[in-house]
Structure 1
Amino acid sequence: MRVQVFKTWNRVRSSFWFLPAVMAGGAMVLAFAIVALDKPVTDWLALNCGWSFTGGAEGSSSLLGAIAGSMITIAGVVFSMTLVALSLASSQLGPRLLRNFMRDTTTQMVLGTFVATFLYCLLVLRTIRRAEEIAFVPHLSVTLGVLLAVVSVGVLIYFIHHVSVSIQANEIVARVGTELIEGIERLFPESIGRGAPRIPTEPPDAGFLDTFGREARPIGSAGDGYLQFVDGDALMALAMQEDIVIRLERRPGHYVVAARPLVLVWPGNRVTDQLIDRVNSAFALGNQRTPGQDIEFTVNQLVEIAIRALSPGVNDPFTAMTCVDHLGSALCRLAQRDMPSPYRHDEKDQLRVITPVFTFPDVTDAAFNQIRQYSRSSAAVTIRLLETIAEVAGSVHRPEDSAALLRHAKMIVRGARGGLLEDEDRQEVEERFQSANQLLSESPGSKL
């Protein structure tokens, strides 16, 4: 159930229709409510505040008609500007960034404002009656429509500014970097790690692992697609209820082929058709990767922007260096967190679920491998990579993390030796490497 809620919510957040639809519904309710209160409120204002509304049926109809027509026209203009921004982002920075633009709440709110104002004026317009014997002009409703039009003009001005800022490369990289840091905070909270209750870091007995490998039975996936979300609580509850051990063969971000092993269950003789259905219901598959439980997806977005910037057709090393800076910021935070154990135990310390987990070396490989390969002939980006490694070195506290950073520093300097033509550039790269190497040797991780 939770995976379906997650999948639906992720789809809703990435759509242009949800927030505008909610605002349009609110505008309809507001129109009916204001019209119902219009006459008594108008009389009270005229009696107590000396405020009398002017304008007849013809003038009110013309005013609301003009506002409604202009709002739907501006909504079309906003939609066109949004498509231009999406096209630019897709062609220049990568199609995987389209989801970020579609999730932009500001754009959805702007579209909703114009659609809501249009519907409000349209519904109020239908209540105006011109016949003398039953004449009715909702003065308060018309006044509110004018106020909504004024607000809409301000929203349009703000939207133009927002689009102008949002298509700048540095702003896009900053938003993706912020999303990456939020993902680290969510997937690697400070409360998870060594010493946490019922999450031992020690692996189970080797004999059990050997028995598990021989006797466990695979459960295949019910469909094809990218694994977007895993309901760990549901798998834990299922393992406790059936008294089994479940080992996940895929983690969020992996592509799953139908009928291929999704999990292994031990003892294998307890696998039933009902258990297979319940296991598959704890996994959400989709046509694309999502950042909910897949931190590597957000890392890949920054990497894609960087390698596109390094392509000969774009040749923008400054954007690539900005991506490296944000990757370094995320790695500094990740290095300070304890990695969660892959072994999940119940309240009686019985092993129930084994999950593949992200590690600092895994994320480091995803962050640096492709940028390193494409930046061999760029002295500026190569130097920035080594400077970033030196910066992250001050945050690591595990030997394997220091080893991963040193391994990448060595590969970077070897690539620069063959890719850079000038001796002075190679010498400067060597100096940065020696500095990073010294910091890594002095880091707390090297002394553990």
Structure 2
Amino acid sequence: MRNVKVSTLWDQLHSSYWFIPAVMAVVATALAFTMLTLDRTGKVEIDYWWLYTGGADGAQSLLEAVAGSMVSVAATAFSITIVALQLAASNFGPRLLRNFMRDTGNQVVLGTFIGTFIYCLLVLRTIHGEGDGYSQFVPQLAVTVGILLAMISIGILIYFIHHASTIIQASHVIQNVSADLHSAIERLFPKKIGRGESEHTQTLAEIPVSFEEEALPIPANGTGYLQAIDDEELIKIACKYNLLIRLQTRPGKFVVQGSNLVLIFPGEKVNQKLTKQINNAFILGKERTEQQDIEFPINQLVEIALRAISPAINDPFTAIRCIDQLSAGLCHLVQRSFPSSYRYDKNNKLRIIAEGVKFAELTDAAFNQIRQYGRSDVAVTIRLLEAIAAIATFTNNSKYQATLRHHADMILQDSREKISQEQDYKNVEERYYQVIKSLNNSRTIKDWNSPEK
């Protein structure tokens, strides 16, 4: 994966609430000095009816009013955002806060108000009347731009009122997380990658027989969630020192300081310098991200569903929406080949053995908790079976089919134990047989409906 560290840095900046407002504040500062320079030099002569032609007192009063109102509106917008974050944390879970922090609309709104305030402040300090001890200077072009920014801010405020009421809706949140899931699938599971399963036996023959005895571990220097692995950097290290590296963890897992990150073969080449280089290729953070962690958006959808079917909220319709999006994501996933665990250098020599994610693990993450907490909810149980039936129509992989059959069997067994009404159980049983029929008559869909990226 190219530019992993750059991508991680950009993701951190994009997830912060200060980056875009800070950039817009800098742009507003540059715009203010540019307009003032044009007014002072007089190189740009504009004589239009809409250009500000008032005196110094009028310009000062106008910009003071705009600057003061921008501070008040910015404070109000920030307060509304905090309330939205509190609602998101209570209704959808604290792990969804990162999605709200990444919302570009909120960042642009705050940046617009702050930028307009800074612009007006910088222009205001240059306006002088005849009685001020200075020669009269009224930057007509700069004041006109200030009026234009005020009008734009009004439009942005109207947009913010609509946007703030939209982003906290369950459908909007679920759709955004689902979009992250599909994007991660496109990025992490391209249509062709690595070696196929047919070459697995050949790859095993390339691993030294004495690997387990002679390989030595390299421990982690820090603690946190593994957000990304710079596999290109690992390949370079392995080629430079002629190593075979086996990863002991994967993105999304929690790493404890001192735990093993990799096994190095041959072990005698392990030293302090190599340990530092290997650790630099592993990016740890305070929270999980979907950059290389396909399971993270799945867990987010599951968390929303679990909160929806909890006794405190009791909203099975939101849980059903989450199941629908999980179904769409897994339908997309089963049509992709899982990346090979083996990475080769340019000379086709095995260098890295990665710990890959398996389809069974992803289906466990998607279905197990919803099944366990929603086993007494007939609507949720039926939709789970319908989701499995939908996924089954997109694959003829025998391993995937066995995994889907296993989940359908567990759902039926839980229903037998928890659903007391005979008719409700018959409805569940009918959906179960539809799953079996779909598994027996499964077909392969060649292309996913989403556009290529």
Q: TM-score range by the shorter chain?
A: over 0.9
Quote the offset at 1:13 in angstroms: 1.2
How far apart are residue 345 of structure 1 and its match?
1.4
Residue 189 of structure 1: how far off its partner (Å): 1.0
Matches within 5 A, 1:15-414: 15-39=16-40, 44-46=45-47, 53-131=52-130, 134-192=135-193, 200-202=199-201, 204-205=203-204, 208=207, 210-414=209-413
Q: 1:206: Cα distance to partner?
A: 5.5
Letter in structure 1 aligned against 2:37: A
Scaled by the length of structure 1, what TM-score is found? 0.94
- Partners of 2:44 and 2:395 in 1: CA distance: 71
Q: Residue 435 of structure 2 aligns with which residue?
A: 436
**In structure 1, distance between residues paired with 2:295 and 2:90:** 22
- Counterparts of 1:50 and 1:245, CA distance in 2: 74
Structure 2 Cα separation of the partners of residues 120 and 63 of structure 1: 13
Distance 2:178 2:135 in 1: 62
Instruction: Say if 1:129 and 1:135, in contact at 8 Å, map to a contact too.
Output: yes
- Residue type of the alignment partner of 2:69: S
User: Does structure 1 conserve the Cα–Cα contact (< 8 Å) formed by 2:305 and 2:322?
Assistant: yes
Number of residues of Structure 1 aligned to a counterpart in Structure 2: 441
**Change in CA separation of 1:179 and 1:193 when aligned onto 2, cut-off 3 Å:** same
| 1:3–1:282 contact (8 Å) kept in structure 2 | no
Distance 1:183 1:51, change over 3 A: closer
Deviations 1:328-364 (A, max 9, x none): 0000110000111101112222110000112222211
When residues 50 and 121 of structure 1 are mapped into structure 2, their CA distance, relative to the original with a 3 A threshold, is: closer
List per-residue Cα deviations over 1:312-336 (Å, max 9, x = no partner): 0000000000000000000011000
State the shift of 1:396 in Å. Answer: 1.5
Assess if the C-alpha contact under 8 Å between 2:392 and 2:442 holds in 1. yes
Letter in 1 for 2:396: H
Structure 1 CA distance for aligned equivalents of residues 19 and 50 of structure 2:
39
Aligned-partner Cα distance in 2 for 1:389–1:341: 26
Q: What secondary structure sits across from 2:45 in the alignment?
A: helix
Partner secondary structure for residue 218 of structure 1:
strand
8 Å Cα contact 1:129/1:137 also seen in 2:
yes
1:190-248 residue CA offsets vs partner (Å, 9 max, x unmatched): 1325569xx95445336846421121100000111111110000001111111110000
Paired residues of 2:194 and 2:343 also in contact (CA < 8 A): no
Distance 1:215 1:109 in 2: 55
Deviations 1:230-271 (A, max 9, x none): 000000111111111000001001111111111001111111
Kindly indicate whether the alpha-carbon contact (under 8 Å) linking 1:398 and 1:444 is maintained by their aligned counterparts in 2.
Answer: no
Contact 1:42 1:139 (C-alpha < 8 Å) held by counterparts = no
Give the residue type in structure 2 aligned to 1:428: N
Q: Find the counterpart in structure 1 of residue 419 from structure 2.
A: 420
Distance, in Å, in 1 between the alignment partners of 2:226 and 2:27 is 36
Residue 115 of structure 1 deviates from its aligned partner by 0.3
- CA distance in 1 between counterparts of 2:389 and 2:244 reads 42
Larger displacement relative to structure 2 (119-128 or 200-209):
200-209
Aligned AA for 2:95? R
Contact 1:217 1:265 in 2 (8 A): yes
Question: Could you say what secondary structure the match of 2:366 adopts?
Answer: helix
Alpha-carbon spacing, 1:342–1:52, altered in 2? closer, same or farther (3 Å): closer
Instruction: Deviation per CA, 1:348-388: give whole Å up to 9, x if none.
Output: 22110000112222211110110111110110010001001
Q: What is the rounded CA distance, in whole Å, between the counterparts of 1:207 and 1:62 in structure 2?
A: 79
* Displacement after TM superposition at 1:50 (Å): 6.8
Report how far residue 43 of structure 1 moved: 7.0
Q: Is the 8 A contact 1:336 1:397 kept in 2?
A: no
2:57 and 2:129 in contact (8 A); partners too: yes
Task: Tell me: CA distance 1:44–1:208, structure 2 relative to 1, closer, same or farther (3 Å).
Answer: closer
1-structure distance, mates of 2:202, 2:57 = 80
Contact 1:176 1:298 in 2 (8 A): yes
Contact kept in structure 1, 2:5 and 2:230, CA below 8 Å: no
CA positional deviation for 1:10: 2.6
Give CA deviations for 1:92-140 in whole Å, capped at 9, x if unaligned. 1100000000000110000000000000000000010113560010111
- Pick closer, same or farther for the CA change 1:112–1:210 going to 2, 3 Å: same
Secondary structure of 1:369 counterpart: helix
Q: Which amino acid aligns with 2:28?
A: A
- Identical positions, percent: 50
Distance 1:119 1:52, change over 3 A: closer
Residues 9-55 of structure 1 deviation map (CA, whole Å, 9 limit, x = unaligned): 23211111110000000000000000111256697223xx5776421
Give the Cα separation in 2 of the matches to 1:146 and 1:130.
20
Instruction: Please give the per-residue CA displacement for 1:47-77, whole angstroms capped at 9, x wherever unaligned.
Output: xx57764211111000000000000110000
Identify if the C-alpha distance between structure 1 residues 286 and 50 changes in structure 2 by more than 3 Å, giving closer, same or farther. Answer: closer
Contact 1:217 1:271 in 2 (8 A): yes
Structure 2 CA distance for aligned equivalents of residues 261 and 43 of structure 1: 66
TM-score under structure 2 length normalisation: 0.93
